[in-house]
């Protein structure tokens, strides 16, 4: 290749790369600079390793840690309650306990706080033997320990997301279109469907409930003690058929409840539980197919329950309870008995 051609290529690279970085910075589809006037799906979508690294390094005030349920949680809803606080979503679809613990430690080391989804399936230690999940965790760990920061603004996937964002704006797509579609989706949920769903959920290699055993108690205690009084753990709701199945198979309910008690008894953080049978969890219209994910409208109710006061709250009074060392055993026993009455 001639020297002139090398010079042309070098010149194109020198000009193009800064333009890509500037374009991504100002389009800001992930809400890194501001979450206002952003597409909800871009704010809530599962974080790729390089984007998650950017969010961590930008040191927001609060981070949403958890699984794909967080795709239904708009960070701006929480920001509206916390006023001048910045909130980032760093959820990982089908997250493992080790991944979430790793994120929690990173957040705390940055002097930030977290809102942590304490889901049953993430606590299954047998998922940690899955090679695909182990490889994914390695990628996230490598991203978090990498020294590069600014270069992430020049990544191809960031550019593609920015172009898609611009296209959606030109096309007139509404910012909340994904949430509106989710809320309006018609589904049917049955106990047989939930049982079949949970038994087959491992078909892609991610065996969420197979050989269900809780991770080591020492790891749960470590997570609990990592948190401060400004952090929050949330036991998110599912359709109540899941609670019936949890009680029916592998002693999932008993194992999960022991983990919850361990968490509550060893942390200074607030622990909110929405694991209940009430008008919210009995209504299939509040969840997606098979009752696995709550709809975005329920996410709004959850955080209104946590942050709202008696004058502003729209959530039913029996939706969500703040667990404490004094009431956790009584509350979980009451739920267990109520689940039995629905079988």
Average pLDDT, the chain: 87
Confirm whether pTM is higher than 0.75.
yes
Coil, helix or strand at residue 53: helix
**Cβ atoms 339, 277 nearer than 8 A:** yes
Residue range 236-282, pLDDT digits in tens:
999 999 999 999 888 999 999 999 999 999 999 999 999 999 999 99
**Cβ atoms 139, 38 nearer than 8 A:** no
Coil, helix or strand at residue 35: coil
Instruction: Give the total residue count for the chain.
Output: 343
**How far is it, in rounded angstroms, from Cα 109 to Cα 131?**
28
List Cβ neighbours of 166 (8 Å cut-off, separation of 6 or more). Answer: 27
Residue range 83-94, pLDDT digits in tens:
889 999 999 988
**Cβ atoms 103, 84 nearer than 8 A:** no
**Strand 270-273 versus strand 321-323 pairing type:** antiparallel
In order of 60, 75, 99, 112, the CA distances from 149 in angstroms are 15, 23, 21, 18
pLDDT of residue 207: 59
Question: Which residues does the chain have with pLDDT short of 70?
Answer: 1-17, 148-150, 200-208, 309-317
């Amino acid at each position: 290749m001639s020297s002139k051609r090398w010079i042309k290529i070098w010149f194109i690279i020198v000009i193009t790369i800064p333009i890509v970085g500037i374009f991504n910075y100002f389009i800001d589809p992930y809400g890194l600079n501001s979450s206002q006037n952003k597409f909800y799906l871009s704010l809530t979508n599962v974080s790729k390793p390089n984007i998650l690294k950017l969010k961590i390094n930008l040191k927001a005030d609060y981070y949403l840690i958890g699984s794909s349920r967080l795709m239904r949680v708009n960070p701006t809803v929480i920001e509206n309650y916390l006023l001048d606080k910045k909130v980032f979503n760093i959820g990982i679809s089908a997250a493992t306990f080790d991944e979430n613990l790793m994120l929690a430690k990173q957040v705390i080391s940055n002097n930030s706080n977290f809102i942590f989804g304490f889901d049953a399936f993430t606590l299954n230690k047998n998922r940690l033997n899955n090679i695909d999940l182990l490889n994914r965790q390695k990628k996230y760990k490598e991203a978090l320990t990498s020294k590069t920061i600014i270069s992430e603004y020049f990544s191809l996937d960031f550019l593609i997301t920015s172009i898609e964002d611009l296209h959606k704006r030109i096309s007139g797509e509404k910012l909340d279109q994904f949430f509106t579609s989710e809320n309006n989706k018609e589904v049917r949920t049955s106990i047989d469907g939930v049982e079949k769903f949970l038994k087959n959920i491992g078909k892609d290699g991610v065996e969420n409930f197979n050989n269900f055993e809780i991770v080591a108690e020492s790891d749960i205690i470590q997570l609990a003690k990592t948190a401060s009084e400004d952090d929050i753990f949330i036991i998110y709701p599912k359709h109540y058929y899941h609670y019936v199945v949890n009680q029916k198979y592998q002693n999932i309910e008993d194992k999960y409840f022991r983990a919850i008690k361990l968490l509550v008894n060893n942390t200074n953080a607030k622990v909110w539980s929405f694991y209940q049978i009430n008008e919210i969890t009995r209504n299939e219209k509040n969840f997606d197919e098979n009752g696995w994910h709550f709809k975005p409208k329920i996410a709004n109710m959850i955080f209104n329950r946590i942050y709202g006061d008696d004058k502003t709250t729209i959530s039913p009074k029996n939706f969500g309870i703040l667990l404490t060392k004094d009431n956790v055993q009584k509350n979980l026993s009451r739920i267990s008995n109520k689940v039995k009455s629905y079988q």
